[in-house]
């Protein structure tokens, strides 16, 4: 039955009658479930939010719903009673299920698992088991537990395999801990044996470094050199994916940038639009050219953007501009705005002319607000007004809650105060404040300030809403 339910879950289908029968059987005799079946059942019922009193409709699975159904609570109770029988793999699965549930009733079991893990760490001398435990406890576990795990793993560092070095990185990222001695040990071995690791693993290692704020020059430059030396075995898309975490780590992989720049200059037409956009942003931010001094220095964001590879990418972008969709135009506009290069000006103008042509034929509000984000504050006033007027002409159709918010951010992005449009959105926002998160309400107020717009009804409604729900906010948020 559980295997059939797992298949239904993948199909995003909720088999109510089958869930009903199984729930009844579990509630009547939960003790007979083997541990593995208990774990599967708990995950399935918590994800499906199923109870015997449910309306009998085969609706799609609701992953964000409450997890306090009778069957889920029965399974939680049994799991807690038998938690001492769980092996490490089972504890990891159970921890992940509990993390996804968000139910306050699951908290006692979470605490029981953490205490159980604290007891098991000293007696565990298997590195793979310990890194699995890192994945089980999660980022919100107590710092004492995280440090005890990392210290125990470090004490076994002489026994690490190639796989262990990788899983230590992902494990520490999973618990959000920068244990520098342990990371240094793994980095040294990783850098010496990069051929043992797949592209996906190397990418994951760099992402983990960013997550725990860890920098290691030897590791980063070794990955750059390894990718450069084996460039013919990688797709351009893979190279660009590796360059993105390097950018976040504020590291400039000169050798890898060199070989990619050479490939692009020789055959720029082969780059798909998405890859072209990523390459243009990365090379302009890194200010890289083939004549660059060969040092892996940190990225300098304020320098000139007139390298040969950037100019090649700008030319190709302009030649294929008509193939760009709105999202691509937005990304390209932002990249050009950050570049400040005079050589990018013709492309900026071409984008604006293209947008002016597209506005009259566009009747989709999200597309138009996306265009607002694409054109920016330094675009011509005529273009800004045409965009705002087109959006306002669609206000008789029902704007969605999301539309009202994005109109505020869009107008702030182009620096335009279109009072009729803002008044329309303010009225709807004030009436439906419960639809918006704290971050969105804060953003709306900031947008009002940016475009010098005041609306008493909106402001007082936000004030009253925050006052009425004060217990749900942290003092810092208020």
- Say which residues have a Cβ less than 8 Å from residue 249's Cβ, sequence separation at least 6: 206, 209, 210, 215, 220
Distances (CA, A) of 216 to 156, 181, 220, 369: 21, 12, 6, 41
The mean predicted confidence, pLDDT, of the chain is 85
For 312, the token pair is 């090649």
Phi and psi torsions of 335, nearest 5°: -65, -45
| Closest C-alpha to 311, from 355, 359, 265, 378 | 265
Q: How far apart are the first and last CA of the chain?
A: 49
DSSP for 36-76, please give it.
Answer: HHHHHHHHHHHHHT--TTS----PPP-TTS----HHHHHHH
Q: Kindly report the pTM of this predicted structure.
A: 0.73
User: Is 80 exceeded by the pLDDT of residue 404?
Assistant: yes
Phi and psi torsions of 351, nearest 5°: -65, -45
118 vs 289, higher pLDDT:
118
pLDDT in tens, 142-178: 898 899 999 999 999 999 999 999 999 999 999 999 9
User: Is 60 exceeded by the pLDDT of residue 57?
Assistant: no
Task: Give mean pLDDT, residues 221-247.
Answer: 94
Does residue 141 come out as left (phi exceeding 0), alpha (psi in the -120 to 50 range) or beta?
beta
pLDDT in tens, 264-314: 999 998 899 999 999 998 888 766 555 544 444 444 433 344 588 888 999
| Closest C-alpha to 113, from 130, 94, 135, 132 | 94
User: Is 70 exceeded by the pLDDT of residue 411?
Assistant: yes
User: Is 50 exceeded by the pLDDT of residue 451?
Assistant: yes
When pLDDT is cut at 50, 70 and 90, the band that residue 63 belongs to is very low
Least confident window among 228-232, 346-350, 434-438: 346-350
Q: Residue 58: its pLDDT value, please?
A: 45
Task: Give mean pLDDT, residues 192-202.
Answer: 95
| Closest C-alpha to 53, from 78, 29, 26, 23 | 23
DSSP for 312-379, please give it.
Answer: HHHHHHHHTGGG--HHHHHHHHHHHHHH--GGGHHHHHHHHHHHHHHTTT---HHHHHHHHHHH-TTS
- Say which residues have a Cβ less than 8 Å from residue 238's Cβ, sequence separation at least 6: 199
Highest mean pLDDT among 23-27, 74-78, 284-288, 447-451: 447-451
Pairwise CA distance, residues 227 & 256, whole Å = 6
Exposure on the CB side of residue 400, measured as CA atoms within 13 A:
7
Task: Give mean pLDDT, residues 352-376.
Answer: 82
Pairwise CA distance, residues 245 & 201, whole Å = 13
User: Is 70 exceeded by the pLDDT of residue 392?
Assistant: yes
Query: What's 250's DSSP letter?
Result: T
Whether the CB-CB separation of 328 and 278 falls below 8 Å is answered with: no
Q: Residue 298: its pLDDT value, please?
A: 44
């Amino acid at each position: 039955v559980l295997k059939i339910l797992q298949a239904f879950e993948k199909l995003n289908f909720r088999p109510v009658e089958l869930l009903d029968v199984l729930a009844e059987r579990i509630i009547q005799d939960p003790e007979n479930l083997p541990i593995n079946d208990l774990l599967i059942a708990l995950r399935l019922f918590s994800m499906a939010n199923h109870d015997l009193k449910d309306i009998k409709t085969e609706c799609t699975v609701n992953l964000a719903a409450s997890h306090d159904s009778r069957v889920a609570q029965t399974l939680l109770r049994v799991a807690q009673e038998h938690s001492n029988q769980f092996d490490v793999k089972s504890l990891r699965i159970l921890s992940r299920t509990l993390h996804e549930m968000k139910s306050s009733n699951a908290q006692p079991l979470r605490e029981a698992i953490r205490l159980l893990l604290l007891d098991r760490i000293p007696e565990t001398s298997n590195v793979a088991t310990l890194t699995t435990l890192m994945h089980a406890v999660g980022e919100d576990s107590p710092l004492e537990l995280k440090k005890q795990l990392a210290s125990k793993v470090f004490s076994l560092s002489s026994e690490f395999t190639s796989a262990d070095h990788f899983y230590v990185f992902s494990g520490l990222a999973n618990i959000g801990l920068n244990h520098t001695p342990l990371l240094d040990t793994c980095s040294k071995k990783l850098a010496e044996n990069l051929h043992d690791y797949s592209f996906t693993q190397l990418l994951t290692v760099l992402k983990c470094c960013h997550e725990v704020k860890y920098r290691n020059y030897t590791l980063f430059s070794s990955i750059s050199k390894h990718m450069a030396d084996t460039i013919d075995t990688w797709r351009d898309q893979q190279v660009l994916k590796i360059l993105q975490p390097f950018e976040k780590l504020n590291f400039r992989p000169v050798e890898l940038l060199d070989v990619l720049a050479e490939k692009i200059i020789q055959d720029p037409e082969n780059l798909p639009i998405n890859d072209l956009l990523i390459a243009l942003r990365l090379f302009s931010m890194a200010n890289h050219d083939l004549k660059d001094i060969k040092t892996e220095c940190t990225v300098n964001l304020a320098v000139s953007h007139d390298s040969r590879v950037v100019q090649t990418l700008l030319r190709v972008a302009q030649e294929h501009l008509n193939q760009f969709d709105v999202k691509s135009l937005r990304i390209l506009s932002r990249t050009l705005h950050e570049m400040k290069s005079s050589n990018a000006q013709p492309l900026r103008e071409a984008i604006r002319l293209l947008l002016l042509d597209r506005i009259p034929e566009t009747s989709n509000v999200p597309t138009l607000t996306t265009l607002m984000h694409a054109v920016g504050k330094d675009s011509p006033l005529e273009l800004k007004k045409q965009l705002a007027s087109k959006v306002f002409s669609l206000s008789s159709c029902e704007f969605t809650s999301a539309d009202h918010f994005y109109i505020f951010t869009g107008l702030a992005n182009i620096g335009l105060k279109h009072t009729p449009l803002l008044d329309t959105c303010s009225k709807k926002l004030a009436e439906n404040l419960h639809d918006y998160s704290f971050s969105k309400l804060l953003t709306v107020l900031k947008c009002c300030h940016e475009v010098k717009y005041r609306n008493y009804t909106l402001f007082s409604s936000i004030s009253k809403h925050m006052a009425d729900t004060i217990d749900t906010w942290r003092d810092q948020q208020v």
